[in-house]
Amino acid sequence: MSGGNFSALSGLTSRVAEKLREASGLYVLVTHYDADGLASASIIARLLMKLDRDFVIRVVDQLDELSLQSLPRGDFYVFTDLGSSSIESIAKMGFTPAIVLDHHEPLRGQVKVEDTWEVNPHLVGINGGREISASGLAYLVAKHLNLVDHDMAYLAVTGAVGDRQDSAPNGLVGPNKLIVEEAMSKGWISSSSGLRLYGVPRYPLVKSLMYTVDPLLPGLTYDEAACQRFLEVTGIPAKKADGSPMTYGDLRPEEKSRLATALIKHLLAKGINPQAVDSLFGFTYEFLFEAESSPLRYAHEYAQLLNACGRLKRHGVGLAIGLGDRERALSQAEAISLEYRRRLAQYLSLIRNDPSYIRLLNNIQVLKLSGLVDDRVLGAVSSIVLSSYMCDVSRPLVSLTTSSHGRIKVSVRVHESLSRRGVDIGPLVKEAAEKVGGSGGGHAVAAGAIIPEEGCDVFLKLLDETMGLRLARGG
Ligand SMILES: [Mn+2]
């Protein structure tokens, strides 16, 4: 990232910050249900509380005519983690004045629409898929008004981690990294590198192994007895001398490297691609002002809690945490997170044990989960199926399930190795969805769409064809 790009981004965020401060009356915040959506809306809500303004928050699945029609009316609108591809509709339907903080590829240049102000990193040459999330953008808005605090920094990092922007070998990069460095210099955050197992470093090791789904640990994930045997064979006691469970944080450096080596061997023996093995290692961000025993102490756990709340349609609980509730909402979120992991485990074992769920077309593969997986959980299942090599990684994975109003929810995931060949799936999904009367879009490696049920076969055929053309052209 060049400094020039960052100053262009700051120019955009400072302009919307001024608009936000100048406005008055009722603010309507509209956001996406995932971790980044909930975290970014929480940052803006915290900012509005500091400015002593009134606001309401609406959490939506996507921004289309249907969801726009359902929005409450106010005096000023803030769209976070969505909106870039709907600016014209937002203005046309009268949701102005509005600011849009989105990091999804807008599939066009900056458009000038009356009374709307957009911040999108793609417009200033910053990769919104990898370098900054909507939460980071919201943080920069608060920073311009000199109102950031450690909670906002935690939410900014959590949003980015929730969107998997920490997957580079050195963790967060670009503007995300600048936010982390600032928070570190203030003593709010620390980071360390190591194994990225679930709940590391403070969960019992057996649980850390069994709940790790990204990447999936074949033969270990969701199998407690197998995890216990694995530790035994590796020579790492599952319990400490006092009988309490061993955690990653309890291990001596030598034991940590022995565990890492054993996991690498295990994954390679299961035929897992070395790149997926690499994703076991990375950075962990620790939030020093959260209680040491709290699931909010570490960015990936915080993100997982928000994510679970959003996906199980309990986003109110996630927002309450973002706004500062550390009591009732937090214990509710922990129960929701457990239920979410239980459901994921169930879906994954069904897919793993029944190859007929995945159907190969010429250039794509289709995972049909209608009637099984809820629309908000579809993307997560899709990501895990691909990242754990439960399917062919040389073609995009297109997952389908039924959604509301007689529509089909589509989730498309592309493996890194395919995206490195220059395949950008977002525009292809958008084009195919629009041709059958739906809507869609996304990043190079992840995209989604909502299409009418009757257009499903044509949609798949179109996507299969355009994908073939792309590959024939060499990406
Ligand atoms: Mn996002």
pLDDT tens digits for 122-149? 999 999 989 999 999 999 999 999 999 9
> What separation in Å is there between the alpha carbon of 325 and the centre of ligand 1?
23
**Residues around ligand 1, an ion, CB closer than 5 A:** 36, 81, 133-134, 163
* pLDDT at residue 159, as a whole number: 98
Instruction: State the distance from the centre of ligand 1 to the C-alpha of 33, rounded, in angstroms.
Output: 9
Question: 225: CA distance to ligand 1 center in Å?
Answer: 36
Low-confidence residues in the chain, pLDDT < 50 = 1-2
Residue 436 has, within 13 A of its CA and on its CB side, a CA count of 24
Provide the token pair at 246. 């061993």
Domains of the chain from N-terminus onward: 3-185 (3.90.1640.30), 194-349 (no CATH), 355-472 (3.10.310.40)
Q: Ligand 1 centre from 160 Cα, in Å?
A: 7
Report the pLDDT value the prediction gives residue 109, as an integer from 0 to 100. Answer: 67
Contact 78, 28 (CB under 8 A): yes
Q: How high is the pLDDT of residue 376?
A: 93
Alpha-carbon distance of 260 to 256, in angstroms, equals 6
Q: Ligand 1 center to residue 40 CA distance, Å?
A: 8
Measured on CA atoms in the order 433, 434, 438, 443, is the torsion positive or negative? positive
Distance from Cα 100 to the centre of ligand 1, integer Å: 13
pLDDT at residue 17, as a whole number: 98
What is the pLDDT, as a whole number, of residue 1?
Answer: 44
Q: What distance in angstroms lies between residue 111's CA and the mean position of ligand 1's atoms? A: 21
Do β-strands 407-413 and 365-368 pair in parallel, antiparallel, or remain unpaired? unpaired
Q: How many angstroms does the Cα of residue 46 sit away from the middle of ligand 1?
A: 18
- H helical segments located in 235-327: 253-269, 274-278, 299-311, 315-322
Q: State the virtual CA torsion across 19, 20, 24, 30 in degrees, nearest 10.
A: 120
- CA 398 to ligand 1 center in whole angstroms: 20
- Give the C-alpha distances (Å, rounded to integers) separating 114 from 11, 32, 79, 90, 117: 19, 24, 16, 10, 9
CA-wise closest residue to 131 among 174, 91, 177, 82: 174
Query: What is the 205 CA–ligand 1 centroid distance (Å)?
Result: 30
Which residue has 């709340």 as its token pair? 309
CA 378 / ligand 1 centre spacing (Å):
16
- The Cα 385–Cα 391 span in angstroms is 7
What whole-number distance in Å separates Cα of residue 444 and Cα of residue 440? Answer: 13
Give the Cα separation of 240 and 19 in Å (integer). Answer: 56
DSSP string, 385-450: HHHTTSS-TTS-EEEEEE-STTEEEEEEE--HHHHTTT--HHHHHHHHHHHTT-EEEE-SSEEEEE
> What phi-psi label fits residue 211: left (phi over 0), alpha (psi between -120 and 50 degrees) or beta?
alpha
SS3 assignment, position 357: helix
Cis peptide, bond prior to residue 355, ω within 30 of zero: no
Query: How far apart are alpha carbons 376 and 307 in whole angstroms?
Result: 10
Please give the distance, rounded to the nearest whole angstrom, from the Cα atom of residue 308 to the centre of ligand 1. 15
The secondary structure of residue 274, as a DSSP letter, is H
Distance 92 CA to ligand 1 centre (A): 24
Per-residue burial over 186-217, b if 16 or more Cβ lie within 10 Å, else e, is: eebbebeebbbbbbbbbbbbbbbbbbbbbbbb
Distance 366 CA to ligand 1 centre (A): 25
Cα 110 to averaged position of ligand 1 atoms, centre (Å): 19
- Side-chain half-sphere exposure of 172, counting CA atoms within 13 A: 27
Ligand 1 centroid–CA 131 distance in Å is: 11
Within 10 angstroms of residue 448's Cβ, the number of other Cβ atoms is 26
Token readout for 431 is: 């084009």
Q: What is the CA(35)–ligand 1 centre distance, in A?
A: 8
Calculate how far, in angstroms, residue 80's C-alpha sits from the geometric centre of ligand 1: 8
- CB count within 10 Å of CB 53 equals 18
Q: From CA 77, how far away is CA 98, in angstroms rounded?
A: 4
**CB neighbours of 185 closer than 8 A, spacing ≥ 6?**
none
